[in-house]
Chain A
């Protein structure tokens, strides 16, 4: 699976959009981009995933560049409850091994 690179941490103000970047320059054509988050010590929670088109659901939007070498997770109106570690992962499901890096710590400030 392709390796991902994320900043260690970032913060944003409550109510503003949080844009979390991820680089995956070695991604291959059949690898999906997944985002999960982990709030405090809870089990990780799925957010969104995509292959090449932008995706949106009730939690977030995923913007994937045309060359697929990077992506951005957008939380449109961040709340204090969005403070968490966010993991960007690229995977082909046929591998059956979803592996997590250290992620990016998002701190939402009042």
Chain B
């Protein structure tokens, strides 16, 4: 298993540009989520999904959209990037967080918005 795969690893955007951060997992996990981490800070939850077709907001959802059309993929869309979205983004998955299963994290995407 490759685990949780995030692409790209690095990205530079200009203010106002749009892009999609990709996240895929090959472990047949129902639960997937996106976090952002700013320098010196802990991780903050952006959006999460408990299964295909179901998404919900986390702590900091503004400026981000998600969809979950398949179990494997959970892309994060920035519709109009802003400098405040400069951060490291982590995707995570779990077999079933509601049953206290652990989270598996990807290696992160470092995003800079100029």
Of A34, A41, A49, A101, the contact of B108 (CB 8 Å cutoff): A41
Residues of B contacting A102 in the complex (Cβ-Cβ under 8 angstroms): 40-42
A29 at the interface (CB under 8 A from B): no
- Chain B residues contacting A99 (CB-CB under 8 Å) are 43-45, 58-59
Task: Determine which of B4, B103, B107 lies in contact with A98 in the assembled complex, contact meaning CB atoms within 8 Å.
Answer: B103
Interface size on B, residues (CB 8 A): 31
The number of A-B residue pairs with CB atoms under 8 Å apart is 62
Residues of A within 8 A of B96 (CB): 93
Closest 9 CB pairs of A and B: A43-B105, A46-B102, A100-B42, A100-B43, A93-B100, A93-B98, A102-B42, A94-B98, A93-B97
Residues from chain A with a CB closer than 8 A to the CB of B48 are: 96-97
Which A residues touch B92, using CB under 8 A? Answer: 43-44
What is the number of residues of chain A that contact chain B, defined by CB distance less than 8 Å?
22
The residues of A with any CB-CB pair to B shorter than 8 Å are 32, 34, 36, 41-46, 49, 87, 91, 93-94, 96-103
Indicate if the CB atoms of A97 and B99 lie closer than 8 Å.
Answer: no
Q: Which of chain B's residues has its CB closest to A94's CB?
A: B98
**Chain B residues closer than 8 Å to A42, beta-carbon distance:** 107-108
Give A4 to B50 CA distance when docked, in angstroms.
25
Beta-carbon contact of B106 and A43 below 8 Å:
yes
Q: How far is the CA of A26 from the CA of B108 in the complex (A)?
A: 32
Within B69-114, which residues are at the interface with A (CB < 8 Å)?
88, 90, 92, 96-108
B99–A93 touching, CB < 8 Å: yes
- Indicate which residue in A32, A44, A94, A98 contacts B45 across the interface (CB closer than 8 Å): A98
User: Is the C-beta of B26 less than 8 angstroms from some C-beta in chain A?
Assistant: no
- The answer on a CB contact under 8 Å between A43 and B97 is no
Contacts of A100 in B (CB 8 A): 35, 42-44
